Structure 1
Amino acid sequence: MKIDFLTLFPEMFHGVLNESILRKAQEKEAVTFNVINFREYSSNKHQNVDDYPYGGGAGMVLTPQPIFDAVEDIRKQHNSEPKVILVCPQGERFTQAKAEQLAREDHLLFVCGHYEGYDERIREHLVTDEISIGDFVLTGGELASMVITDSIVRLLPGVLGNEDSPILDSYSSGLLEHPHYTRPADFRGLKVPEVLLSGNHKLIAEWREEQSLKRTFERRPDLLEKYPLTEKQKAIIKKWQNGN
């Protein structure tokens, strides 16, 4: 996978993209990153990339020319049509399902804006996806694009080593992930559930499934509205609802 970032602050990416899983993903040649300062594409003699909004109002708006030219140049260099992702509070709420969808792409291009916003022509004629990581506003799109990238790259084949890891993550199954325990089995009198020490894989799988369901019921009941519950799971939830 190729991932490009259009930004006015390329230095923000250096630490994140070159540590932990994202660094390992590059070493395994699962992904390549390219961080581009789109100010370099400005045709303005002062390399300005923003201007006052027509009609008045607070703040500055990113002009279309540098971003259009940068995206067109990237398309030409790679001879591809990447997904052009605008990260902004108005976009589609980012989910695990969206991460899985984007992980199947060959080429992603993030447009990271600053200031008051983007010229609307960027949205209408250049962008393929608008994504928000939550109902709040950040100074720019850089941090959001890095969060989204981390979520996507860890899903690429071979990146995590254990192929089951992304499948068992919270939200991947539609439910929150079950609790985890490790050594020691008894820490200050706090003991690991006996079933996990039993060696009975069938019982362990059943325990994990029920714990995953319980954690979702307690913390994110909204997720259960769309989850295809079995009759057994419905009965368990009804028991919890009755306080049993």
Structure 2
Amino acid sequence: MKINILTLFPELFQGFKTQSIIGRAIKNQLIEINIVNIRDFCFDKHKQADDIPFGGEGGMVMKPEPLFRALETVGGKVIYTSPQGVVFNQEVALKLKEEEEITIIAGHYEGIDERVVEEKVDMEISIGDFVLTGGELPAMVIVDAISRLIPGVITKASYENDSFFNGLLDYPQYTRPAEYMGLKVPEVLTSGNHKKIREWRIKESLKRTYLRRPDLLEKKILDKTEKKLFNEMLKELKENKN
């Protein structure tokens, strides 16, 4: 998969591209991340990429000319990181993972000239209801979430157990030692009974989702096993409360 990122601050992506899972994925040619400096397409003497908005008010707006020129050099689905966009989640990541190439415009200031949005942008994405300095961090979030879904980047079992992948929060995780400072790992995890371990994990996942993100359960269609374990979990919670 090829991912192009149009940005005014390409240096912010140096560490992102070379470290951890993303760095290994690029090295193994599983993904390609192409950082495009928007200022390279500013043909005036001062490389000006922004200007004051028509109609007054404060702030600056990213100019259309360099963005149109930069977009001519890349391909794929064009995404603009914007507060007005759809909220990014695992479902969106799974859909974007199917694209052979995507291009992300990392906005800045008051945003980009609306003519670019109307003519070139296929999708606007927001990573949440808060304000950031620019679109570089959202671009990294989007790339990271998509990349881990690409075959070979991480094991299938790893991302299938992630929170949100199956519509629920992840179950608690433990590692060695089995006991530390009197704190013990749940016995079921060291029992070797894989059926019991699987049931415990499903129940704990349902419990966390029920207590922390009940809104996710409203959209989740539980299978027969999940329904059974969900009812058991509710009964246990009620008994513990009493």
Paired residues in the alignment total 237
Contact 1:217 1:237 in 2 (8 A): no
Aligned to 1:239: 235
Aligned position for 1:188: 181
Q: TM-score, normalised by structure 1?
A: 0.92
Q: Percent identity?
A: 52
Amino acid at match of 1:133: I
**Are 2:130 and 1:139 aligned?**
no
Q: Deviations over 1:64-107 (max 9, x none)?
A: 111111111224xxxxxx11110111111010111111111111
The amino acid of 2:147's aligned partner reads V
Superposed CA RMSD in Å reads: 1.5
User: How many Å separate the matches in 2 of 1:183 and 1:11?
Assistant: 39
Structure 1 regions of 5+ residues with no counterpart? 76-81
Aligned to 2:121: 127
**1:143, CA displacement in angstroms?**
1.0
2:202 corresponds, among 196, 209, 214, to: 209
Q: Deviations over 1:8-55 (max 9, x none)?
A: 110000011110000100111101111111111123343212111111
Query: Hey, what's the Cα distance between the residues in 2 that align with 1:200 and 1:136?
Result: 45
Structure 1 residues 128 and 240, CA gap change in structure 2 (3 angstroms): farther
Which amino acid counterpart does residue 72 of structure 1 have in structure 2?
E
Matched residues in 2 for 1:204 and 1:232: separation?
Answer: 15
CA distance in 2, matches of 1:195, 1:42: 62
Could you list the runs of 5+ residues in structure 2 that have no partner in the other structure? none
Q: Secondary structure of 1:215's partner?
A: helix
Which residue matches 1:78? none
Q: 2 CA distance for matches of 1:188 and 1:238?
A: 31
Q: What residue identity is the alignment partner of 2:62?
A: L
Change (3 A) 1:69 1:27: same
Q: Distance in 1 between matches of 2:236 and 2:220?
A: 17
